[in-house]
Amino acid sequence: MDIKYNLKPASERRTEQFTPEGNVGFGKLRTDHMFLMDYRDGQWCDPRIVPYGPFEMAPGAMTLHYGQSIFEGAKAFMHDDGEIYTFRLNMNAQRMNRSADIVCIPNIDEQMQLDAINALIDVDRNWFPMQEGACLYIRPFIFATEDRLSVSPSQQYTFCVMLSPSGAYYSSGGVNEGIRLLITTKFHRAVSGGTGASKAAGNYAASLRAGKAAAEYGAAQVLYLDANNQQIEEVGAMNHFHILKDGTIIIPKFTDTILQSITSKSILELGDMLGCEVRQETVMLDKFIADIESGEIIEAGGFGTAAVVSPVTSYIFEDHRVITVGDGKVGPHIQKIYKVFTDIQKGLTQGPEGWVKRV
Ligand code: PLP
Ligand code: COI
């Protein structure tokens, strides 16, 4: 791919490695540049890296009306050799195309996506935040730009990649502090045949009302059930998991209402390194609650790129009943999963072949 570079003058861009003073937070900061590529006349064209800034868009751009927009989330880490490494970026590129299929957006060749992201990180590498636990969060997204008001797939799109020097996603929580989830029967994230298995922007707009309800219950987020309120599905920005007293990690089986988390898939492949069985199964709510109450389930949490491994130490129901997982503290299994997983990302432990790639 022949990328055009229109970079900020050296005097206006970061020339020294970013050493933030306070906690960088999640998703707040931007780097100097972004990658753009357009789709018109049936092909992706004009790949370019330009200063980060506003888009010019027609008020009739179809993304603004009908939400034809998808995104990805990935991370890059600095290893001890001072180089930046992406984590399983090929999986994000593949999932971008699965999401694209679900909302009728044309695919982008996987290698093109990888080249775009690597070129952008290379240009803005000084923005890597030198702070414990921080990363460069990578946000690729595609949106419909055609100026037309009929409800049909747009004929024009823009693919953009932006970067955000970031730390932990949940302001409370992180692996040292558990969060509470609201188990909701009123709100549903997805139904079979819908867009739940994609990272369609509309899925996240639809989750905001449930997020507000969660906050009213003092919970960080909701845990969604299937449309019949019988099975555990996932959280708005992470998959769910629980751990049995024999150490087995259980992740709800992927259906077309659950996003196939790259973090979950990674944990499923790390059983040997974690020293336990990791499997997927249908998780029935009634049994899940009974198993927490009987002590059969000892830990629970969520997996996601932004959320990493987030322990859930209690659940609240819409009738305000609360159940506590284990002793209500972050357990040793979750701490181990977090350490093994993040050590691989940071290059402190050798993970499976090809998981980390140098930019
Ligand atoms: N589920 C949803 C709805 C998400 O938005 C995310 C975040 O991307 C995840 C799960 C976790 O997926 P991953 O581990 O690939 O980030
Ligand atoms: C991610 O984990 O990368 C996500 O995309 C979740 C996001 C909604 C913050």
Nearest CA owner, ligand 1 atom 9: 238
**197 falls in which pLDDT band (50, 70, 90)?**
very high
Distance 149 CA to ligand 1 centre (A): 31
The identity of residue 324, as a single letter, is T
What's the CA-to-centroid distance between 267 and ligand 1, angstroms? 13
Say if ligand 2 is within 6 A of residue 306 CB.
yes
| Amino acid code (one letter) for 70 | I
pLDDT score of 242 more than 90: yes
- Of all residues in the chain, the percent with pLDDT exceeding 70 is 99
* SS3 state at 58: coil
How far is C-alpha 237 from the geometric centre of its chain's CA atoms?
Answer: 6
Q: Does the pLDDT value for residue 124 go beyond 80?
A: yes
The contacts of residue 268 (CB under 8 Å, 6+ apart) are 251, 278, 279, 280
- pLDDT at site 167: 86
Query: In the prediction, which pLDDT does 150 show?
Result: 96
What is the pLDDT averaged over residues 334-358?
Answer: 96
CA of 72 to the centre of ligand 2 (A): 7
Ligand nearest to the CA of 169: 2
Query: How far apart are alpha carbons 112 and 44 in whole angstroms?
Result: 10
Question: Given a cut of 80, is residue 172 above it in pLDDT?
Answer: no
Task: Give the number of whichever ligand sits closest to the CA of residue 309.
Answer: 1
Residue type, 310: S
Mean pLDDT of the chain: 96
pLDDT at residue 168 above 80?
A: no
pLDDT at 175 over 90: no
**Mean pLDDT score, 296-307:** 97
Residue 157: pLDDT over 60: yes
* Residue 304, ligand 2, Cβ within 6 A: yes
- Which pLDDT tens digit goes with each residue over 246-276? 999 999 999 999 999 999 999 999 999 999 9
Coil, helix or strand for 109? coil
- Is 236 a residue whose pLDDT tops 70? yes
166 lines ligand 2 (CB under 6 A): no
pTM above 0.90, yes or no: yes
> What is the per-residue pLDDT across 8-36, written as a single tens digit (0 to 9) for each?
999 999 999 999 988 899 999 999 999 99
Residue 254 Cα to ligand 1 middle (Å): 12
Mutate to test the pocket of ligand 2, among 92, 162, 169, 208 (most ligand atoms within 8 A of CB): 169
Measured distance CA(77)–CA(225) in Å, rounded: 34
Which string of DSSP letters, residue by residue, matches 184-205?
A: -SS--S--TTSSTTS-BHHHHH
Quick check: ipTM above 0.85? yes
How long, in residues, is the chain? Answer: 359
**Residue 177 — pLDDT band, cuts 50, 70, 90?**
confident
Reported as a pLDDT band with limits 50, 70 and 90, residue 174 is low
Q: For ligand 1, pick from 170, 233, 305, 344 the residue to mutate: most ligand atoms within 8 Å of CB.
A: 305
Atom in ligand 2 nearest the alpha carbon of residue 137? 3
CA of 132 to the centre of ligand 1 (A): 23
Look at residues 263, 357, 355, 340 and name the one whose alpha carbon lies nearest to residue 303.
263
What pLDDT score does 133 carry?
86
Taking alpha carbons only, the member of 295, 201, 287, 200 closest to residue 252 is 287
HSE, CB side, 13 Å, CA atoms: give it for residue 303.
Answer: 26
pLDDT for the residue numbered 171: 59
Determine the average pLDDT of the residues in 279-302.
98
Do residues 307 and 170 lie in contact, with contact meaning Cβ atoms separated by under 8 Å?
yes
pLDDT for 176: 78
Q: How far is the CA of 27 from the centre of ligand 2 (A)?
A: 10
- Closest residue by CA, ligand 2 atom 4: 73
